[in-house]
């Protein structure tokens, strides 16, 4: 058979393993049973990868001296940093997402002609047409691009310096323990066993949705004190150690055994099992945050009703609230959440890596906080 680039076959499984360059472009390791269908999926993935490389390396089309001209070189430097492991692919892709809003307004504009009034008008347009988070990201990335232009002496001053790029109001939603349990049961009833385990994992570990859905078997560990997760966060790359219950650990291993395939250590464990009423039946990992959010919304609607609008990320906030109410220190909660909550409320600063024991202390405090939340909700229901 004709060889398929980036693949190897072992024990009846075809592994698709992207190069460093492809990983920098966001491609992940995958695998399929060694069959005609598996080989075709591998060929498709290889074709998609090669197209991505060609697109990235294609000759640029821009007006000389324009912001798009500078952006092309700025982006190339950005992805070089990804390839050298200095930043995560996700960080570089945030610039690509912001550029979708920046390019229509400034792409063909000569970079030296962009003034403060132009930026003010752009911000007003974003506030009018898009969400606060979209506006904040677009202005923030435009500012970084233009500040880089100042450093390189392409322009004399940054025309965004007068803009106050305020953060969107933070979400405050959280779930009660009973609501978490109800969603786990609904996921099982809908045939979404992977989602049921993800909800349990997010609740026990305070992991974000992306960290839960991309969990791999290499991150499952066992210590004398019990099982835990050892995996850096997808968003920030900060090390994360979170304890999990023995029952969740056992259920995840049973789930892996039930998949009927040999998982690559770096491959996501959880599959996007279709709900019982859906046409889609193949059990594959979620391909995007949107797919995961769509399935979570279906589970939430089944468990809590059509009017509820809370998100999977609110489970992470719930865990932090329980720990805070239970008296966990900011340092221990930072260890649980794998962020810099203890020293920087924006969660952007680098901080001392968390320890497993600190995360365990935070989880012990959550038991007290969980009781306080349940008690408060009960009193409100009576009133």
For the stretch 149-169, pLDDT in tens is 999 999 999 999 999 998 777
Cα separation values, 155 from 62, 120, 347, Å: 18, 18, 31
Residue 301 is encoded by which pair of tokens? 């609607």
Mean pLDDT, rounded, of the chain = 83
Asked if pLDDT for residue 37 goes beyond 90, the answer is no
- The region of weakest confidence among 8-22, 78-92, 361-375 is 361-375
Give the Cβ contact number of residue 348 at 10 Å: 9
In this predicted structure, what is the pLDDT of residue 347?
39
Look up the pTM and report it. Answer: 0.57
The pLDDT value given to residue 354: 40
Q: Are 351 and 343 in contact (CB under 8 A)?
A: yes
Percent of the chain scored above 70 by pLDDT?
Answer: 84
CA separation, residue 290 to residues 152, 180, 209, 275, 294 (Å): 38, 21, 11, 16, 6
Residue 169: how many other CB atoms lie within 10 Å: 7
pLDDT at 237: 55
Residue-by-residue DSSP string for 48-108: HHHHHHHHHHSPP---TTBHHHHHHHHHHHHHHHHHTTSS-HHHHHHHHHHHHHHHHHHTT
Task: Give me the mean pLDDT over the 97-125 stretch.
Answer: 93
* Euclidean distance between the first and the last CA atom of the chain, given in angstroms as a whole number: 72
pLDDT tens profile 265-287 = 888 999 988 766 665 556 788 88
Return the residue matching tokens 């074709």. 47
- Contact indicator for 37, 48 with CB cutoff of 8 Å: no
Placement of tokens 């990320």 in the chain: 313
In sequence order, the 6+-apart residues with CB closer than 8 A to the CB of 317 are 171, 172, 173, 174
């Amino acid at each position: 058979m004709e060889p398929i680039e980036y693949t190897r076959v072992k024990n009846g499984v075809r592994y698709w393993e992207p190069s460093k360059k492809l990983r920098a472009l966001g491609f992940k390791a995958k695998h399929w049973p060694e069959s005609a269908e598996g080989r075709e999926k591998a060929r498709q993935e290889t074709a998609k990868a090669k197209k991505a490389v060609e697109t990235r390396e294609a000759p640029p089309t821009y007006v000389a001296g324009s912001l798009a001209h500078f952006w092309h070189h700025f982006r190339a430097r950005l992805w070089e940093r990804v390839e050298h492991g200095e930043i995560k692919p996700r960080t570089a892709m945030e610039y690509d997402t912001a550029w979708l809003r920046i390019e229509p307004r400034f792409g063909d504009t000569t970079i030296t002609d962009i003034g403060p009034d132009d930026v003010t008008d752009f911000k007003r347009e974003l506030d009018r047409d898009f969400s606060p988070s979209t506006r904040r990201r677009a202005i923030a990335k435009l500012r970084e691009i233009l500040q880089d232009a100042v450093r390189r002496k392409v322009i004399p001053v940054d025309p965004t310096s007068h803009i106050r790029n305020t953060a969107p109001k933070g979400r405050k939603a959280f779930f009660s323990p009973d609501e978490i349990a109800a969603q786990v049961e609904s996921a099982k009833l809908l045939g979404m066993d992977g989602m049921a385990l993800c909800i349990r994992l997010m609740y026990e570990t305070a992991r974000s949705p992306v960290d839960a859905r991309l969990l791999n078997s290499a991150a499952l560990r066992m210590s004398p004190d019990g099982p835990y997760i050892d995996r850096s966060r997808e968003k920030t790359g900060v090390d994360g150690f979170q304890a999990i219950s023995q029952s969740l650990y056992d259920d995840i291993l049973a789930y892996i055994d039930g998949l009927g395939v040999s998982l690559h250590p770096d491959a996501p464990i959880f599959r996007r099992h279709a709900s019982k009423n859906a046409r889609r039946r193949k059990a594959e990992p979620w391909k995007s945050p949107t797919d995961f959010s769509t399935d979570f919304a279906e589970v939430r609607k089944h468990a809590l009703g059509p009017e509820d609008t809370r998100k999977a990320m609110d489970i992470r906030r719930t865990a932090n609230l329980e720990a805070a109410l239970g008296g966990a220190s900011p340092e221990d909660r930072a260890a649980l959440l794998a962020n810099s909550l203890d020293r920087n409320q924006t969660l952007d600063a680098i901080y001392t890596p968390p320890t497993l024991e600190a995360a365990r202390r935070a989880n012990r405090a959550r038991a007290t906080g969980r009781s306080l939340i349940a008690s408060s909700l009960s009193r409100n229901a009576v009133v």
